[in-house]
Amino acid sequence: MRTQVGIIGAGPAGLLLCEILQRNGVDSVVFERQSRDYVLARIRAGVLEPTTVDVLRENGLATRLDAEGHVHDGARVVWAGREGFLIDVYKYCGKKFVAYGQTNLQEDLFAAADRRKARIITECEVELAGTAVRYRQGGKTAQVDCDFIAGCDGFHGVTRKSFPPGALRELEKMYPFGWLGILSEVPPLEEITYCHSERGFALASQRSAMLSRYYIQVPLDTKLEDWPDERFWQEIKARFPREWAERIVEGPSIEKSIAPLRSYVAEPMSHGRTYLAGDAAHIVPPTGAKGLNLAVSDVYYLSRAFAEYYRAGSRALLDAYSETALRRVWASVRVSWYLTMLLHRFPDANPFDVRAQEYELEFIKSSEHAQAALAEQYAGLPL
């Protein structure tokens, strides 16, 4: 078998790339290690930047999003004894966020792929030999020869590992805590709300009008079995200011997990005819809600570059892909790092560190310019 672009990974980045390439007359095959059901069952982020929504609409993938997504002006930041402030993306950037679960988007992308009978090979083990994809499925081995490889296979995938030694510069920061998150079929708070508390960070997010996602900061050695639902609800309410805590609706969890936080960037995002997109190239702490949005911007740049190559024979955009994508990546990495450092209680923080955090929050609240700058970064750079 032969194709123009071999796409490794059938998550949102891989399937979106497949869809946009098809719309530009570029052939592709998608390879996925897990089953479709496994991919669809993964619980991930659900806050879409304005540019992400634009890309989905431009490619006919926003019908359900527009019907079911919850539109927001921005995100609220609160802390005890203070009114807080809104990171007002609409006021300062003229655009809005949409809360729409990544699971829903994954379903939309699989449905679009099915409509056009896209070639998606699931439950296969992949090896890369240059631009040849050798895969094993159901005890049988086959190979697909490709012009290019697009690695959309996540942080633990095979594509980045196929780069030769010394080809990548890897930059990483590990944070000394994780997030314990639950999903519950209860009405969410009216706004996406970040909470800075002496007990640790907390976040109230949402997926739909009757599906809420809540998080609390926990030590890295935390075990799920130590956190029954009752304890979680008590703790998150203790972290939020009383007027906010009273509006949190409790309910049984339908999913519960703990995720460590890290910042990671691999530079460059390409080598030879192999290109990285999404978590294969970078990880951001979820504080800035940037992971899925960065995957979409990577795919936008990469699909445009492949389309130009096959339409005009030019490698200009392909050669510039890494530099172009990394500008947006580092902008998002920076704001995610900044919010993580600002809103969490660090285990080794001394009274000076705590007071500096508090003053920074007060400064943002009091400064129109600081709020505008934060809103611009939170909204994400234009494509």
Residues with active-site annotation:
72, 194, 286, 290, 378
- Helix H segments across the chain? 12-23, 36-41, 50-58, 63-68, 89-93, 102-115, 229-239, 242-245, 291-312, 316-343, 351-366, 368-379
Cis peptide before 12 (omega within 30 of 0): no
Gyration radius (Cα) of the chain, Å: 21
Dihedral angle of Cα 19, 21, 24, 28, to the nearest 10 degrees: -110
Q: Interior CA angle at 201 toward 237 and 349, to 5°?
A: 130
* Residue 132 to residues 10, 246, 265, Cα–Cα distance (Å): 18, 57, 26
Residue type, 308: E
Cα diameter, the chain: 64
- The count of C-alpha atoms lying within 13 angstroms of the C-alpha of 335, restricted to the half-sphere facing its C-beta, is 21
- Total residues found in the chain within this entry: 383
C-alpha–C-alpha distance, residues 67 and 84, integer Å: 31
Query: The tokens of 363 are what?
Result: 């400064």
How far apart, in Å, are the Cα atoms of 168 and each of 47, 133, 149, 265, 266? 30, 21, 17, 10, 6
- Taking the CA atoms of 149, 153, 154 and 158 in sequence, report the sign of the dihedral they define: negative
d(CA 355, CA 244): 23
